[in-house]
Amino acid sequence: MEYTEIVYERRLDAAWIGINRPEVRNAFREQTLDEIAHALNLTREDPTIVAAVIYGVGGHFSAGGDFHAMMKLNKANSYMWNDRMQMVAMTCRNLPIPVIAMVEGACVGGGHELMLWTDLVIASEDSIFGQTGARVGACPTVGATQYIGKLIGERRAKEMIFLCKRYSGKEAAEIGLANESVPASELLARVEEVVGEIKGYSSQTIRATKVSLNYDSDSLYPSWQHGMELLANIWGTDEANEGMNAFLERRPADFHQFRERNAEALGTYMGDYNEGRNQSETSRDARDA
């Protein structure tokens, strides 16, 4: 495969995979996800590779999914996106080597979920971790709803998802979202140091223990399927499109209009219920006779 959305390099006995869409803060589209999965799977063909490092080119890890791609999704085609997300996630989890996220800048939305799929996270102190779904009308059900609570507790997880709370890289390390944080100027050197440490350890031990460590969270697989079906009902809706359009147009989203629309629809339903209009005319006539 010829890469146009990522850069790939084999260096220091590790695979370095850089999301290469800096013009959109490394937001990814379907092609990007295909290339990430392909590059990760290349490591299976070289047993001397000791780790895979995922990072973002140009100062940001990833701002998540590219809205220009996501706004083309609906219930009929959403599996084309959701299956790719799961493909990258399962590839990260099933590789026999550690997958390391080297995080700087924005690590938000789907980019934050990508970080959650990796094994180790080393961040710059000034990077930003967060989930943005509630702000833009999307649902982080391909990793965030499953893993954040396990890492930082259910209360903080709900705060991140419901209130779009963000943490700096330093704070992320303190609460367990990241393994450690370092000054931005030291980030690359620290990741290279970790790769060197891994090289000195037993590959078969790491392979076996990664499988064992993932045993408990592997049970969350049905939740991923459930989450993707929920997400399929979100893509393409007026509410989701309002959130994404508002973001692209740099204005506040008007989500309350959908609450008002739902209230009107509920009022119509309750009126039909209270007046007995939830039956056929034939049934109504028979009961009135």
Whether 131 has a pLDDT exceeding 80, the answer reads yes
For the purposes of burial, counting CB atoms within 10 Å of the CB of 197, is it exposed (0-12), middle (13-18) or buried (19 or more)?
Answer: exposed
- Region 148-160: mean pLDDT is 96
pLDDT band at 149; cut points 50, 70, 90: very high
- Region 208-219: mean pLDDT is 90
Query: What residues contact 261, with CB distance under 8 A and at least 6 apart?
Result: none
Between residues 140 and 104, the one the model is more confident about: 104
Whether 207 has a pLDDT exceeding 90, the answer reads yes
**Tell me, what's the pLDDT at 287?**
77
| Partners of residue 99 on adjacent β-strands | 52
The whole-model pTM stands at: 0.93
Q: How far apart are CA 90 and CA 99, in angstroms?
A: 12
Helix or strand or coil: residue 5?
A: coil
pLDDT band at 191; cut points 50, 70, 90: very high
Q: How far apart are CA 250 and CA 224, in angstroms?
A: 31
49-90: per-residue pLDDT in tens?
999 999 999 999 999 999 999 999 999 999 999 999 999 999
Whether 107 has a pLDDT exceeding 80, the answer reads yes
Q: Are strands 120-124 and 180-182 parallel, antiparallel or unpaired?
A: parallel
- Region 139-151: mean pLDDT is 91
108-130: per-residue pLDDT in tens?
999 999 999 999 999 999 999 99
Whether 222 has a pLDDT exceeding 90, the answer reads no
